A and B are shown apart, each in its own frame.
Chain A
Amino acid sequence: MSDTVLSVNNLSVDYRTERGAVQALRDVSLAVPRGGIVGIVGESGCGKSTLINAIIRLLAGNAGITGGEMIFEGRDLLGLSPDAMRRLRGDRLSMVFQDPMTSLNPVLSIGAQMRDLQYRNRVSRREKNRRAVAMLEKVGIPDAPSRLTQYPHEFSGGMRQRIGIAMALLAEPALLIADEPTTALDATLEVQIIHLLQALQRDTGCAILFISHHLGVIAELCEQVVVMYAGRVVESGAVRDIFHRPAHPYTARLLECDPARIQKATRELPTIPGDIPDLIHPPTGCIFRERCPHAFDACVTPPPWRDWSDGQRALCHLEARP
């Protein structure tokens, strides 16, 4: 469908380790509409990094895709040759990474890196520089033309992240994947980057897949959100629905735990006791049942997808919202 830029269906990924196969992803499905902003929220071990690496087909050597498919702009990503995949990356599909310190090549100038990215375009060097400068100005780098000759270490963290975004959008991709782009930045910088992404998205019309564990940012930036836990999607839907009326106990508890949500000062903050389950020997039935305050007998069997209003769905046995 030309309405959906990326569609992941029932994706499962295992990692082969000495102790056994780690079920990093199980039956993960999500859809990013053309020009839409979808957020993925989850804590450590939920599989968001694995998911991203699977989409861009850069999984580690000991990882194996054991099921499912990924369709990007109508093409089956799993069926593409490495060359074809490489042509997609940086062109139709690009990425912004978490750590602005390490995602830029320290020994090349910004200008060189931005020209390199345009290798597919048969235009003059001057034209490439012009486009680079235009992009840098768009992301708010002051004095852009003189900055082209500078090196990453001459920029601060926030600037580097902007440069990373500029580089990702240089080729006008259909989908921008942002992997925790603000986690390493201060809160006041985070605000700037979020507003920048919003503005750029309006400008270029690209779709954004935004990964974060920061609930507040997801609420502000995204239209749709996917909640992941221990390698599975447990809930997905419109941001408004999920945040106001969560349908999965994990989402509900996660929202309760966010200190920003708690208006009255309290000395006893809510938490989710326990740890994520062992992904080599996951529990039978619902993956969350060992920590779920609402678990009951049915939870030892795999939970069904339950549809709520307007596209909201949760993987849970409960028939009423938690």
Chain B
Amino acid sequence: MSALLMVEDLRVRFPVRGSLPGQTRHIEAVAGVSLALAPGETLGIVGESGSGKTTLARAITGLTPVAAGSVRFRDRELVGLESRAWKGIRREVAMMFQDPVGSLSPRLTVRSLITEPFRIHGLKDRALDQEAKRLLGMVGLSTDFAGRFPFQLSGGQARRVGVARALALDPALIIADEPTAGLDVSVQGEILNLLARLQEELGLAILIITHNLNVVRHITDRMAIMYLGRVVESGPTEALFAAPRHPYTLALLSANPEPNPDAVMNRLEIPGEVPSLLNRPSGCEFHTRCPFRGAGCDREFPPASPEGVRRFHCYYPR
């Protein structure tokens, strides 16, 4: 089965105003990311702020220009695609954004918001009211919501509207940027359950971007951990949870403790903060904070160490 989405050595750079006139430095927000997604599969991209995960998502959907590398969707190269062709791609790749209410146009009703994709692509022959009803039903919202405005929706409800909108044109792939951000714990499950159910029913592929490892565990088949624009470890979710190889993965896992006061506090506290992209550390970027750092870590970024279907980039894996 060929991959639905294939990203190879993707790089995204942003110019930074230099201190001298005429000097433009660049930061590399995405520094060579490769990943693949099969139809009907869920992949989680996990990283903290500065990891480049959101930039990656936007680069894949053509919202941010790509400096180098390739993105192939259904074997079609997206990098450098002209804008008219993008419109067709956008019917198949839908995106959900982080801010549930802010990603909805404030003066449109829910009905208009959900049927917006039809109008954008000129599919005026469809019975839009019926489509709206169908989509609302799919995400578990009653038809009462059709006439409401974004500011009248709770975070969870607004998220569902985002899902409904993403489903409108029956896409093959949904990219969800932090789908549980801002939601209470008691409500997070609703969205994740919904996405899981829709995936089963519709055979959707889902790319989830999140910083919350716990979310990823329950809904993804595979995951990739990002740090400062690179993937440091990837593989089947359960395998990574059971035995993380990269120290950063280990740190992330231990940073989200279960609510158990008696749990053995094996918290791996890593010092310092994510370095600025302007001063990218040499070699393996994590070496400045890594408790298991050894010789050679600061010289060159470690090559991939494949382990079956897993890969990690570390000279001294756990």
A and B touch in the complex (CB under 8 A): yes
Binding site for B on A (CB under 8 A): 43-44, 156-159, 186-192, 195, 213, 215-220, 239-240, 243-244, 253-255, 257-263, 265-273, 275
The reply to whether B186 and A186 form a contact with Cβ atoms under 8 Å apart is no
The reply to whether B184 and A187 form a contact with Cβ atoms under 8 Å apart is no
A-B contact pairs, 15 of them (CB 8 A): A43-B184, A158-B273, A186-B49, A215-B259, A216-B256, A216-B258, A219-B257, A220-B267, A244-B262, A258-B258, A259-B188, A259-B217, A260-B256, A265-B218, A269-B189
A residues near B64, Cβ cutoff 8 Å = none
The reply to whether B218 and A269 form a contact with Cβ atoms under 8 Å apart is yes
B residues near A257, Cβ cutoff 8 Å = 185-186, 188-189
Taking the closest CB of chain B, its distance from the CB of A1, in whole angstroms, is 26
Bitwise, B31-72 to A at CB < 8 A (1) or not (0) is 000000000000000001100000000000000000000000
Q: Give 10 closest A-B pairs by Cβ, nearest first.
A: A269-B189, A259-B214, A215-B259, A271-B189, A187-B255, A186-B48, A43-B184, A272-B186, A216-B257, A219-B259
Q: Which of A188, A260, A266, A267 contacts B258 (CB 8 A)?
A: A260
Tell me if B215 counts as interface (CB < 8 A to partner A): yes
Q: Which of A159, A195, A216 contacts B269 (CB 8 A)?
A: A195
Taking the closest CB of chain A, its distance from the CB of B269, in whole angstroms, is 5
A residues near B255, Cβ cutoff 8 Å = 187-188, 190-191
Additional pairs, 17, CB under 8 Å, beyond known A243-B259, A268-B196 = A186-B48, A213-B185, A216-B258, A216-B259, A220-B267, A240-B261, A244-B262, A254-B185, A254-B186, A258-B214, A259-B212, A259-B217, A260-B256, A261-B259, A267-B219, A270-B189, A275-B154
Q: How far is the CA of A43 from the CA of B48 in the complex (A)?
A: 23
Within 8 A of A (CB), among B174-196: 184-190, 192-193, 196
Taking the closest CB of chain A, its distance from the CB of B201, in whole angstroms, is 12
Q: How far is the CA of A187 from the CA of B263 in the complex (A)?
A: 18
Tell me if B83 counts as interface (CB < 8 A to partner A): no
Q: How far is the CA of A44 from the CA of B183 in the complex (A)?
A: 9
Asked whether A260 and B257 contact (CB < 8 A) given A159-B273, A188-B270, the answer is: yes
In the complex, residue of chain B having the shortest beta-carbon distance to the beta carbon of A190: B255
B residues near A265, Cβ cutoff 8 Å = 217-218, 237-238, 241
Q: How far is the CA of A186 from the CA of B270 in the complex (A)?
A: 12
Q: How far is the CA of A266 from the CA of B154 in the complex (A)?
A: 26
The reply to whether B256 and A261 form a contact with Cβ atoms under 8 Å apart is no
Taking the closest CB of chain B, its distance from the CB of A86, in whole angstroms, is 34
In the complex, residue of chain B having the shortest beta-carbon distance to the beta carbon of A218: B259
Q: How far is the CA of A267 from the CA of B276 in the complex (A)?
A: 37
B residues near A254, Cβ cutoff 8 Å = 185-186
A residues near B258, Cβ cutoff 8 Å = 216, 219, 258, 260-261, 263
In the complex, residue of chain A having the shortest beta-carbon distance to the beta carbon of B271: A192
Q: Which of B154, B260, B269 contacts A192 (CB 8 A)?
A: B269
Q: Which of A158, A188, A216, A257 lies at the interface centre, i.e. has the most chain B CB atoms within 10 A of its CB?
A: A188
B residues near A159, Cβ cutoff 8 Å = 273
Tell me if B89 counts as interface (CB < 8 A to partner A): no
Asked whether A269 and B259 contact (CB < 8 A) given A187-B252, A188-B48, A191-B269, the answer is: no
The reply to whether A271 and B273 form a contact with Cβ atoms under 8 Å apart is no
Taking the closest CB of chain B, its distance from the CB of A252, in whole angstroms, is 12
Tell me if B251 counts as interface (CB < 8 A to partner A): yes
In the complex, residue of chain A having the shortest beta-carbon distance to the beta carbon of B251: A188
Within 8 A of A (CB), among B192-231: 192-193, 196, 211-215, 217-219
The reply to whether A191 and B267 form a contact with Cβ atoms under 8 Å apart is yes
Tell me if B274 counts as interface (CB < 8 A to partner A): yes
Tell me if B127 counts as interface (CB < 8 A to partner A): no
B residues near A262, Cβ cutoff 8 Å = 218
A residues near B188, Cβ cutoff 8 Å = 257, 259, 269, 271
In the complex, residue of chain A having the shortest beta-carbon distance to the beta carbon of B276: A156
The reply to whether A271 and B193 form a contact with Cβ atoms under 8 Å apart is yes
In the complex, residue of chain A having the shortest beta-carbon distance to the beta carbon of B259: A215
B residues near A189, Cβ cutoff 8 Å = 273
A residues near B254, Cβ cutoff 8 Å = 191
Bitwise, B242-285 to A at CB < 8 A (1) or not (0) is 00000000011011111111110101011101101000000000
Q: How far is the CA of A114 from the CA of B192 in the complex (A)?
A: 45
Taking the closest CB of chain A, its distance from the CB of B239, in whole angstroms, is 11
Q: How far is the CA of A267 from the CA of B273 in the complex (A)?
A: 33
Q: How far is the CA of A267 from the CA of B215 in the complex (A)?
A: 11
Q: Which of B184, B214, B218, B252 contacts A188 (CB 8 A)?
A: B252
Q: How far is the CA of A213 from the CA of B189 in the complex (A)?
A: 15
Taking the closest CB of chain A, its distance from the CB of B62, in whole angstroms, is 28
